[in-house]
Amino acid sequence: MSDSLNAMRRRSVLEPQWFVPALFVVALLPAVIGVAGTASDLLADTRFFGSNPIKAVEHYFGQWTLRFILATLCITPTRQLLGWNWLAKQRRTLGLFAFGYLMLHWLAYALLDVQLDWHDLTIDLAKRPYIMIGMAALLLMVPLAVTSTKGMIRRLGGQRWNRLHQLIYVISVLGVIHFFMAVKKDIGQPALFAAGLAVLFAFRVQRWRARRAA
Protein backbone atom coordinates (compact mmCIF):
# COMPACT_ATOMS: atom_id res chain seq x y z
CA MET A 1 0.00 0.00 0.00
CA SER A 2 2.59 2.55 1.07
CA ASP A 3 4.90 1.27 -1.72
CA SER A 4 2.37 2.08 -4.38
CA LEU A 5 1.64 5.42 -2.75
CA ASN A 6 5.33 6.23 -2.81
CA ALA A 7 5.56 5.17 -6.44
CA MET A 8 2.68 7.48 -7.23
CA ARG A 9 4.42 10.25 -5.37
CA ARG A 10 7.64 9.76 -7.32
CA ARG A 11 5.83 9.78 -10.63
CA SER A 12 3.89 12.90 -9.76
CA VAL A 13 6.65 15.26 -8.72
CA LEU A 14 6.18 17.29 -11.87
CA GLU A 15 3.08 19.02 -13.10
CA PRO A 16 1.75 17.29 -16.22
CA GLN A 17 1.90 19.61 -19.21
CA TRP A 18 -1.77 19.29 -19.98
CA PHE A 19 -2.85 20.24 -16.49
CA VAL A 20 -3.10 24.00 -16.69
CA PRO A 21 -4.87 24.17 -20.06
CA ALA A 22 -7.27 21.44 -18.93
CA LEU A 23 -7.94 23.30 -15.68
CA PHE A 24 -8.80 26.47 -17.55
CA VAL A 25 -11.14 24.68 -19.93
CA VAL A 26 -12.93 22.87 -17.12
CA ALA A 27 -13.13 25.99 -14.97
CA LEU A 28 -14.38 28.27 -17.73
CA LEU A 29 -16.92 25.88 -19.18
CA PRO A 30 -19.62 26.42 -16.52
CA ALA A 31 -19.31 30.18 -16.97
CA VAL A 32 -19.66 29.94 -20.73
CA ILE A 33 -22.63 27.59 -20.41
CA GLY A 34 -24.22 29.79 -17.76
CA VAL A 35 -23.89 33.04 -19.69
CA ALA A 36 -24.77 31.58 -23.10
CA GLY A 37 -27.68 29.55 -21.73
CA THR A 38 -29.17 32.51 -19.90
CA ALA A 39 -28.74 34.83 -22.87
CA SER A 40 -30.46 32.28 -25.09
CA ASP A 41 -33.30 31.74 -22.62
CA LEU A 42 -33.92 35.45 -22.15
CA LEU A 43 -33.44 36.54 -25.74
CA ALA A 44 -34.52 33.53 -27.80
CA ASP A 45 -37.16 31.99 -25.51
CA THR A 46 -35.30 28.69 -25.06
CA ARG A 47 -35.43 26.66 -21.81
CA PHE A 48 -31.79 25.71 -21.09
CA PHE A 49 -32.31 26.92 -17.55
CA GLY A 50 -35.97 25.95 -17.42
CA SER A 51 -38.99 28.21 -17.15
CA ASN A 52 -37.48 30.60 -14.62
CA PRO A 53 -33.96 31.11 -16.01
CA ILE A 54 -33.04 34.09 -13.84
CA LYS A 55 -33.56 32.22 -10.58
CA ALA A 56 -32.00 29.07 -12.03
CA VAL A 57 -28.80 30.76 -13.19
CA GLU A 58 -28.54 32.65 -9.90
CA HIS A 59 -28.49 29.30 -8.10
CA TYR A 60 -26.26 27.75 -10.74
CA PHE A 61 -23.49 30.32 -10.29
CA GLY A 62 -23.88 30.18 -6.51
CA GLN A 63 -23.32 26.44 -6.55
CA TRP A 64 -20.29 26.79 -8.82
CA THR A 65 -18.85 29.32 -6.38
CA LEU A 66 -19.13 26.78 -3.59
CA ARG A 67 -17.65 24.04 -5.77
CA PHE A 68 -14.58 26.15 -6.52
CA ILE A 69 -14.17 27.17 -2.89
CA LEU A 70 -14.24 23.51 -1.94
CA ALA A 71 -11.77 22.77 -4.74
CA THR A 72 -9.27 25.28 -3.32
CA LEU A 73 -9.66 23.58 0.06
CA CYS A 74 -8.87 20.22 -1.58
CA ILE A 75 -5.43 21.36 -2.74
CA THR A 76 -3.54 21.04 0.52
CA PRO A 77 -4.93 17.61 1.46
CA THR A 78 -4.22 16.33 -2.06
CA ARG A 79 -0.66 17.64 -1.92
CA GLN A 80 -0.06 16.04 1.43
CA LEU A 81 -1.65 12.72 0.56
CA LEU A 82 -0.21 12.31 -2.92
CA GLY A 83 2.84 14.54 -2.80
CA TRP A 84 1.67 16.58 -5.77
CA ASN A 85 3.39 19.73 -4.61
CA TRP A 86 3.04 21.38 -7.99
CA LEU A 87 -0.67 21.67 -7.23
CA ALA A 88 0.11 24.50 -4.80
CA LYS A 89 0.47 26.93 -7.70
CA GLN A 90 -3.04 26.14 -8.90
CA ARG A 91 -4.70 27.02 -5.64
CA ARG A 92 -4.62 30.68 -6.57
CA THR A 93 -6.14 29.91 -9.97
CA LEU A 94 -8.98 27.96 -8.37
CA GLY A 95 -9.49 30.67 -5.76
CA LEU A 96 -9.74 33.34 -8.43
CA PHE A 97 -12.22 31.23 -10.35
CA ALA A 98 -14.26 30.89 -7.15
CA PHE A 99 -14.22 34.68 -6.87
CA GLY A 100 -15.24 34.99 -10.53
CA TYR A 101 -18.21 32.68 -10.03
CA LEU A 102 -19.14 34.63 -6.92
CA MET A 103 -19.20 37.79 -9.04
CA LEU A 104 -21.39 36.06 -11.62
CA HIS A 105 -23.67 34.87 -8.80
CA TRP A 106 -23.94 38.41 -7.47
CA LEU A 107 -24.51 39.84 -10.95
CA ALA A 108 -27.29 37.33 -11.60
CA TYR A 109 -28.90 38.44 -8.36
CA ALA A 110 -28.37 42.19 -8.59
CA LEU A 111 -28.54 42.74 -12.33
CA LEU A 112 -30.99 40.11 -13.58
CA ASP A 113 -33.13 39.31 -10.55
CA VAL A 114 -33.43 42.61 -8.67
CA GLN A 115 -32.42 44.62 -11.76
CA LEU A 116 -30.43 47.17 -9.79
CA ASP A 117 -33.44 48.36 -7.88
CA TRP A 118 -31.41 50.03 -5.13
CA HIS A 119 -34.36 50.24 -2.81
CA ASP A 120 -34.91 46.48 -2.99
CA LEU A 121 -31.19 45.75 -2.78
CA THR A 122 -30.83 47.73 0.43
CA ILE A 123 -34.01 46.29 1.94
CA ASP A 124 -32.76 42.79 1.15
CA LEU A 125 -29.46 43.56 2.78
CA ALA A 126 -31.04 45.12 5.85
CA LYS A 127 -33.79 42.57 6.41
CA ARG A 128 -32.72 39.21 5.01
CA PRO A 129 -30.19 37.32 7.11
CA TYR A 130 -29.23 35.00 4.25
CA ILE A 131 -28.44 38.00 2.04
CA MET A 132 -26.38 39.56 4.84
CA ILE A 133 -24.43 36.36 5.26
CA GLY A 134 -23.89 35.96 1.53
CA MET A 135 -22.80 39.57 1.23
CA ALA A 136 -20.42 39.20 4.19
CA ALA A 137 -18.82 36.23 2.46
CA LEU A 138 -18.50 38.26 -0.74
CA LEU A 139 -16.89 41.21 1.02
CA LEU A 140 -14.48 38.94 2.87
CA MET A 141 -13.43 37.40 -0.41
CA VAL A 142 -12.45 40.72 -1.98
CA PRO A 143 -9.20 41.14 0.02
CA LEU A 144 -8.24 37.57 -0.86
CA ALA A 145 -8.67 38.24 -4.56
CA VAL A 146 -6.82 41.57 -4.30
CA THR A 147 -3.85 40.03 -2.47
CA SER A 148 -3.51 37.08 -4.79
CA THR A 149 -0.62 38.52 -6.83
CA LYS A 150 3.05 37.69 -6.26
CA GLY A 151 3.76 41.32 -5.46
CA MET A 152 1.10 41.42 -2.75
CA ILE A 153 2.37 38.19 -1.20
CA ARG A 154 5.85 39.72 -1.04
CA ARG A 155 4.58 42.96 0.37
CA LEU A 156 2.48 41.29 3.07
CA GLY A 157 5.05 38.68 3.95
CA GLY A 158 4.30 34.99 3.83
CA GLN A 159 3.00 34.62 7.36
CA ARG A 160 0.65 37.57 7.34
CA TRP A 161 -0.56 36.59 3.88
CA ASN A 162 -1.24 33.07 5.12
CA ARG A 163 -3.18 34.33 8.07
CA LEU A 164 -5.27 36.64 5.89
CA HIS A 165 -6.04 33.83 3.50
CA GLN A 166 -7.29 31.62 6.30
CA LEU A 167 -10.41 33.75 5.89
CA ILE A 168 -11.38 31.20 3.26
CA TYR A 169 -12.45 28.91 6.11
CA VAL A 170 -14.86 31.55 7.38
CA ILE A 171 -16.03 32.33 3.84
CA SER A 172 -16.72 28.69 3.03
CA VAL A 173 -18.82 28.23 6.17
CA LEU A 174 -20.75 31.44 5.48
CA GLY A 175 -21.35 30.29 1.92
CA VAL A 176 -22.83 26.97 2.97
CA ILE A 177 -24.99 28.62 5.66
CA HIS A 178 -26.21 31.09 3.02
CA PHE A 179 -27.20 28.15 0.82
CA PHE A 180 -29.01 26.38 3.70
CA MET A 181 -31.00 29.53 4.44
CA ALA A 182 -31.94 30.16 0.83
CA VAL A 183 -33.70 26.85 0.22
CA LYS A 184 -37.25 26.17 1.29
CA LYS A 185 -37.10 22.68 2.73
CA ASP A 186 -35.02 20.67 0.26
CA ILE A 187 -31.72 20.75 2.13
CA GLY A 188 -30.13 17.89 0.15
CA GLN A 189 -27.80 20.11 -1.89
CA PRO A 190 -26.57 22.36 0.91
CA ALA A 191 -26.14 19.29 3.10
CA LEU A 192 -23.87 17.79 0.45
CA PHE A 193 -21.64 20.88 0.47
CA ALA A 194 -21.67 20.89 4.28
CA ALA A 195 -20.54 17.26 4.31
CA GLY A 196 -17.72 18.00 1.87
CA LEU A 197 -16.64 20.93 3.99
CA ALA A 198 -16.75 18.79 7.13
CA VAL A 199 -14.41 16.22 5.58
CA LEU A 200 -11.96 18.91 4.49
CA PHE A 201 -12.04 20.55 7.92
CA ALA A 202 -11.63 17.20 9.69
CA PHE A 203 -8.51 16.54 7.64
CA ARG A 204 -7.00 19.81 8.80
CA VAL A 205 -7.96 19.32 12.43
CA GLN A 206 -6.38 15.90 12.38
CA ARG A 207 -3.11 17.23 10.85
CA TRP A 208 -3.03 20.03 13.37
CA ARG A 209 -3.49 17.61 16.26
CA ALA A 210 -0.78 15.31 14.90
CA ARG A 211 1.59 18.26 14.62
CA ARG A 212 0.88 19.36 18.19
CA ALA A 213 1.40 15.86 19.49
CA ALA A 214 4.75 15.60 17.68
The CB density around residue 98, as the number of other CB atoms within 10 Å, is 28
* 129 close to 84: Cβ distance less than 8 angstroms: no
Query: Applying CB under 8 A, which of residues 181, 191, 192, 194 lies at the interface with another protein?
Result: 181
Shortest approach of another protein to residue 192 CB, angstroms? 13
Quick check: 55 binds another protein (CB under 8 A)?
yes
Shortest approach of another protein to residue 36 CB, angstroms? 17
Nearest CB to another protein, comparing residues 116 and 205 = 116
190 burial via Cβ count (<10 Å: 0-12, 13-18, 19+): buried
CA neighbor of 141 nearest in space, from 167, 104, 110, 173: 167
Nearest CB to another protein, comparing residues 17 and 51 = 51
Query: What 3-state DSSP class applies to 16?
Result: coil
Quick check: 59 binds another protein (CB under 8 A)?
no
* Burial 56-82, CB ≥16 within 10 A → b, else e: bbbbbbbbbbbbbbbbbbbbbeeeeee
Taking CB under 8 A as the binding criterion, the range among 49-57, 67-75, 79-87, 203-211 that sits at the site for another protein is 49-57
User: Within positions 118 to 177, which residues make up the interface with another protein, using CB under 8 A?
Assistant: 120, 123-124, 127-130
Nearest CB to another protein, comparing residues 3 and 186 = 186
Residues touching another protein, count (CB under 8 A): 22
Can you give the binding site for another protein, defined by CB under 8 A?
42, 47, 50-52, 54-55, 113, 115, 120, 123-124, 127-130, 181-182, 184-186, 188
